[in-house]
Chains A and B, each alone.
Chain A
């Protein structure tokens, strides 16, 4: 792949990336969240098209328009979310789309043989091929998807974070599979954050940073530290305002919280005037932690205390306990895109926009105008639909709703994902103000709990930081006492032996 470029709107996801894969090698693709790894692989596997650049496959120009095109050419991508038909059997899934048939009738004997061949290549002959896929564990489902790729005759296999939901034992089994495939001449692109895995399994590596190739080489001759340096490779700029915050009483405390799947264990306390950051990789369980605190996900055990209330509560209860949350998913959960700015801000209709239970459009508009000014939302009128705004302005509307409620505990999940630098700066300032409070406008300091995948940002805006890795929340550090390298190492599980 040469000089690949791809932009989404105004942001360049890939800005001239080169990538080369040799036959029969395992090539690791690493980089921080948002560095462009997934975009690059989606282009290779035909899920999206590049704006410019060329791809050559075995010396011939290659331009997949659909994922099926790429599959026919021998490129198969296995995503974190597996692509299987849960209601069909293992065998039916493996031969799906290329069923051996005669006059439209399936040939069960041929299907059996093909399925068993593919599974045998992976050393998993023992998987019951008549079982429905939906009833099998995730690790087995992953094997089935790889087996399907083999059955279609793939020569390039892309694995996107294949170990993120596997246990240690299953990871070992996956690695054995990868070595077998490599011995048979299949090339593998291995996307992972876990550097010790990269060190163990890959022959070469390429680092992406901010949509560019940041370096690469032979894995054997490189230390993990070197790779981390290539991944970060930037200095913290002056984006982050940080006034001194005065810590007050305890607002939120979580003890040994365990969800149905994630988090596996989490404990921390949040005080008034504190900005607490939670770092970690995508899929580590940070979002699930926030959601279970806010009552959006079930919890298995543990204690949550909000002010003087204790125990599990629905989101509605949480709002009345003065807890507010902005979801990471703006389009699905955070905002009603088809409604106006004013409607979105007053969505909960809890305070001052109603009179005797009726909505007062005038008050609604007035309070929306105030919020727009306060947060610097750039839009014509409060009646403008949210879907017409830029990502940054949309995020500010979501935050405005939270401010509208005047809550004590502010929970933010990836508040700056996918927005421009100017809006980011606005949001940092806002978070800082929330924690400082404003005696003139009679605003008490609040407690802010923020999840972000961008480490410089967390170090820049937080008072304290904890790292979540594979569902477990680590100890809380003072933000001033940690650096990116430490946090990243903890996030990728280095030094933690299971």
Chain B
């Protein structure tokens, strides 16, 4: 019985997702329920969803990373610049993601060496990285030649329909499975949870707390790097002003999915559901012809409702 209620608890974000999807099928236009729209929702979720995988780790470890939006922009700019210089697509993508990983490593080192709280450090690096992206791009969009990179998140052509969804969605899914396995079956995963759950205890038991933190922020930026690659793929240019404020969507996805900003809690499945909930609302609202501001209000309300429901459930299961 207890096991069952725990299962139910962990599935709660999916019930929410399902309910919202059904709601739009009922009240929305017919176009919403088409398989094509489902594919569109998945494609649009891939970027936030991928970045949110890293954020899930950060939040479980009791931290926060505000720099992911800027990292996405920097990575997109770097990839475009390399392509423009005639470097092969694969190498350009690797260089872009590599730059992202480096940013995360720096975040982690600053947080653990300077002993400054993650909110402040990543607030600072958010601006630094955004500024660097603009500098590299001379405050312009960098045009890049079209390559296969641009097909990652493009709508599938009829002859490629055997893929079901574009490669970018498959990549996001694969990464999600890897992160879920990491949290469940590896030492690092348990250490991440331990650091967020009770840092003092983790220290007492000999968990290398600082190293765990550095790894977590590096991973977070690595996932943001992959998201940056997807962002570039969709836009086909390196735009240094892209993804401004995206870190908040990413954090919202984790939080809707049951992540707690005080650490220790969060799950990959929940995060993915959270990201899908936000895209579904956006897609549904825009197909119903509701203006942007209505979508924003609804998304905001969903965040508050989701989190208060989560707290309520927790309090009841504790009592």
Seen from chain A, the residues whose Cβ lies within 8 Å of a Cβ on chain B are 66-68, 71-72, 83-88, 92, 96-99, 101, 104-106, 108, 134-135, 148
Contact = CB atoms under 8 A, between A and B. Distances in A.
A356 to B, nearest CB: 38
Contacts of B185: 105-106, 108
B198 interface: yes
24 contacts: A66-B203, A68-B203, A71-B205, A83-B200, A83-B201, A84-B198, A85-B198, A85-B201, A85-B202, A87-B196, A87-B197, A87-B264, A92-B190, A92-B194, A96-B194, A96-B205, A96-B207, A97-B207, A101-B187, A105-B187, A106-B187, A108-B185, A134-B318, A135-B317
B206 interface: yes
Given A97-B206, A106-B186, A84 B193 contact: no
A67 B203 CA distance: 8
B206 A98 contact: yes
A87 B265 contact: yes
A71 B204 contact: yes
Given A104-B188, A105-B186, A106-B186, A87 B200 contact: no
> Which size class do B's interface residues fall under?
20 to 34
B186 A104 contact: yes
Contacts of A71: 204-206
Nearest to B198: A85
Main secondary structure on B side of the interface with A? helix
A96 B203 contact: no
A25 to B, nearest CB: 25
Contacts of B196: 87
Nearest to A76: B204
Given A85-B194, A86-B264, A96 B202 contact: yes
A67 B318 CA distance: 31
Contact of A85 (B188, B264, B317, B318): B264
Contacts of A106: 185-187, 190
B177 to A, nearest CB: 15
B24 to A, nearest CB: 34
B197 A86 contact: yes
B187 A104 contact: yes
Nearest to B314: A134
B226 to A, nearest CB: 21
B205 A148 contact: yes
A24 to B, nearest CB: 25
Contacts of A87: 193, 196-197, 264-265
Contacts of B203: 66-68
Contacts of B190: 88, 92, 96, 99, 106
Contact of B201 (A96, A104, A108): A96
